[in-house]
Amino acid sequence: MNRGSSNLLAFVVGAATGAILGILYAPDKGSNTRDKLSYQLDKYKKQLEDLLEDLVNGKMEVSSMAKEESKKVVSDARKKAEQLLTDVDDLIGQIKSGEKA
């Protein structure tokens, strides 16, 4: 887990913990407290699901970009290797015919 994800997770956990403790220590009926707690937990659950979805989509985008970049690198390497083989064949032909490079 990278540093940004770790900080984000710490923030979410801290916010959820603070909200839960605030609700539990507030002077209110038990049923009201449970309702508030349930509402807050549902709210944080939804936010966490959204964050996870964003992270997954972001990773997929990064993965896709990495694949595209690797395809470019492989293509460039292939072209350079083919050119090198052509140059080597030309040199071998020149050597066999007695020409200087």
Residue pair 19/40 in contact by the 8 Å Cβ criterion: yes
Separation of alpha carbons 85 and 101, rounded Å: 15
Q: Which amino acid is present at 7? A: N
First to last CA, the chain: 55
2-39 tens-digit pLDDT: 666 677 778 888 887 877 777 677 777 777 777 777 78
33-77 tens-digit pLDDT: 777 777 878 888 888 888 888 777 777 677 777 888 888 888 888
